[in-house]
Amino acid sequence: MTNPLPPNEAKRLAALQRYRILDTAAEAAYDDIVRIASYVCATPIALVSLVDNDRQWFKARVGLEAVETPREQSFCAHAILQSGTLIVEDATKDERFAHNPLVTGEPGIRFYAGAPLVTHEGHGLGSLCVIDRESRQLDPAQIIALEALARMVVTNLEFRRTTAELAEVASNAKTLAGLLPICIRCKNIRNDTGYWQRVESYVKEHSEAKFTMELCPACASKHLPKTGE
């Protein structure tokens, strides 16, 4: 059994990697969301599922021991193909899932509802899903709540990504501080090893600043020929 791929699959996988979320430890923010989803939808199982290249990995889960399953068995791999919530009321009667090992064996999935986790770039990373071992339905209010919780998952992912990127920028940033010994005539700077170097070389090594060569008005007046001479 092979699940269909999104048309932007390569970009989607690249985006998923940028969030640096796969195989990370449990976090309360995501655990709380699956608990709320399970409660609101009255299902024994709820998952934050991220669809990787050949697996679906669960960032948070309630009611299920497995931490991942093969992508070819993934209901969520179908959920990321659409913008709205994927609802399967009875998997045994759906030709896409009737022979799925997760249906014919443990955990015996019958009902599935998955709200896709869609980034602002339009990439479906996975889903917030609720699962039951009995066929059933969700009412409109439950669907709205599930989709709202899915957006909260995406917000957490975006925050995580932004924080990581800012930390990386900060770790690479270079700043100038303290007293700089500078020659009063040639304006060369003495570095930490005692050698003198040109000011632009020193600044380049100790900051992200770049130089553009210009003449200030005073130097231009002194060194450039005056118009009309």
Residue 218's H or E segment, with its range, is helix 217-223
182: in domain: no
50 plus 111 within the same structural domain:
yes
55: in domain: yes
21 plus 112 within the same structural domain:
yes
Sheet arrangement for strand 124-132: 68-70, 55-62, 45-51, 124-132, 111-118, 86-88
183: in domain: no
What is the CATH classification number for the domain harbouring 79? Answer: 3.30.450.40
Block mean pLDDT (10 aa), the chain, length 229: 83 94 96 98 98 97 96 96 95 96 96 96 96 97 98 93 74 61 71 75 68 66 59
Parent domain of 99? 9-170
Residue (of 55, 27, 33, 29) closest to 46 by Cα position: 33
49: in domain: yes
141: in domain: yes
50 plus 131 within the same structural domain:
yes
108 plus 196 within the same structural domain:
no
3: in domain: no
Q: What is the pLDDT of residue 75?
A: 96
Helix (H, G, I), strand (E, B) or coil at 123: coil
Question: What's the rounded Cα separation, in Å, for the pair 29 and 33?
Answer: 7
217 plus 107 within the same structural domain:
no
CA distances from 68 to 138, 207, 210 (A): 25, 45, 48
How many structural domains compose the chain? 2
193 plus 111 within the same structural domain:
no
154 plus 206 within the same structural domain:
no
103 plus 163 within the same structural domain:
yes
Q: What is the pLDDT of residue 91?
A: 97
Residue 111's H or E segment, with its range, is strand 111-118
Amino acid type, 146: L
Q: What pTM was computed for the model?
A: 0.74
Q: What is the pLDDT of residue 228?
A: 53
Question: What's the rounded Cα separation, in Å, for the pair 74 and 62?
Answer: 17
Question: What's the rounded Cα separation, in Å, for the pair 157 and 31?
Answer: 13
125 plus 35 within the same structural domain:
yes
180: in domain: no
193 plus 155 within the same structural domain:
no
200 plus 165 within the same structural domain:
no
151 plus 205 within the same structural domain:
no
